[in-house]
């Protein structure tokens, strides 16, 4: 009987070892698969855009000319439009997301937290093309009739920022595109901020309230320092989402290859350029230039995420030194 038990347990042990090896091989293979896909994308983009990169060199990044007829292509206008619209989105989304997260974690009654949190998260489920259609047919008329004339009247003559509000109030352009992007990334940033704010130990907040701290002081001096690493990560995640958005931006940015500092003027982004021209590209050089744009967008996104990782590591190391 003892021998039978020994053989059974030995067989079970061998089976468990095989399962552990299979599990390790599966997880390791999954990790390597991600790296293989990543490098495959980079290599394919580099090979596809090599013709344009070799033809224009670094001038491809510094030229604002984009003319398929003369086969002169430059990425400056799409790069500028991508960065500016994403920056506007962050300026709008970060404070609103912070307010939503603070309200849901510190201010709202418990019965109201779930409905509002669900409603905010539902914004992330709306397809981007719906945002674009809403932006073009509903938001753009409001911008052209009310918002842009008001901004132009208030700030158009300002010596420092007046150049940002010059031009006809068309309702489309860099500013509407940035606002639409801001609305789109609010659910992502606010959800992450809310979750990391919830990780703050209750005894820390209760101790602050016990010594007479207000809601704002608890958030600013206790919750935010404790959860700032996760909050910064959520902000950069929202920025990465804004950099790559396509359809919503295509509807409202104006799709014009003109470099203009005014936020009222039509512009272009890398993703909208690819969406508009890739299926209609004429000639190998035009196609190669579009693929090179995709490579530039990939590198911008990679740089943003790498910067976010370095910043998070810096914050974590600083917190470790303090503790």
Domain spans of the chain, in order of start: 59-322
Taking each helix axis from N to C end, the angle separating 270-277 and 284-322, rounded to the nearest 10 degrees, works out to 150
Provide DSSP, 83-112.
HHHHHHHHHHHHHHHHHHHHIIIIIS-HHH
The pLDDT of residue 320 is: 58
Give CATH for domain 59-322. 1.10.3720.10
**Could you state, in chain order, the average pLDDT of each consecutive group of 10 residues for the chain (323 residues)?**
54 82 91 92 93 90 89 92 94 93 87 87 88 93 93 88 88 93 92 88 86 84 86 88 89 90 91 88 89 93 86 73 46
Decide: 63 and 48 in contact? Cβ < 8 Å: no
Q: Which of 310, 237, 311, 255 is nearest to 89 (CA)?
A: 237
Tokens of 189: 């940033």
The pLDDT of residue 323 is: 42
Provide DSSP, 178-194.
HHHHHHHHHHHHHHHHH
The pLDDT of residue 7 is: 52
Decide: 107 and 215 in contact? Cβ < 8 Å: yes
Decide: 164 and 261 in contact? Cβ < 8 Å: yes
The pLDDT of residue 90 is: 93
The DSSP secondary-structure symbol of 146 reads: I
């Amino acid at each position: 009987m003892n021998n039978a038990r020994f053989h059974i347990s030995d067989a079970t042990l061998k089976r468990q070892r095989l399962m552990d090896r299979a599990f390790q091989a599966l997880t390791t293979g999954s990790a390597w698969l991600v790296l293989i896909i990543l490098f495959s994308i980079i290599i394919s983009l580099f090979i596809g855009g090599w013709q344009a990169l070799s033809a224009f060199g670094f001038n491809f990044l510094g030229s604002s000319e984009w003319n398929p007829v003369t086969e002169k292509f430059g990425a400056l206008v799409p790069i500028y439009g991508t960065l500016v619209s994403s920056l506007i989105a962050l300026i709008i989304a970060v404070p609103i997301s912070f307010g939503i997260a603070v309200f849901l974690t510190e201010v709202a009654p418990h019965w109201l937290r779930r409905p509002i949190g669900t409603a905010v998260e539902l914004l992330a489920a709306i397809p981007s093309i719906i945002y674009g259609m809403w932006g073009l047919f509903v938001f753009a008329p409001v911008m052209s009739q009310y918002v842009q004339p008001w901004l132009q009247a208030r700030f158009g003559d300002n010596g420092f920022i007046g150049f940002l509000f010059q031009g006809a109030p068309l309702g489309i352009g860099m500013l509407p595109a940035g606002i639409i992007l801001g609305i789109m990334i609010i659910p992502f940033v606010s959800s992450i901020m809310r979750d990391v704010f919830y990780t703050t130990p209750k005894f820390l907040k209760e101790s602050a309230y016990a010594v007479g701290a207000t809601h704002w002081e608890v958030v600013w001096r206790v919750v935010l320092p404790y959860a700032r690493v996760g909050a910064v990560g959520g902000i950069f995640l929202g920025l990465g989402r804004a950099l790559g958005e396509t359809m919503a931006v295509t509807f409202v940015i104006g799709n014009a290859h003109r470099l203009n500092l005014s936020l009222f003027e039509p512009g272009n982004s890398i993703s909208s350029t690819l969406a508009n021209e890739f299926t209609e590209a004429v000639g190998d050089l035009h196609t190669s230039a579009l693929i090179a744009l995709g490579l530039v967008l990939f590198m911008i996104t990679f740089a943003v995420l790498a910067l976010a990782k370095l910043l998070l590591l810096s914050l974590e190391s600083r917190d470790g030194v303090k503790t």
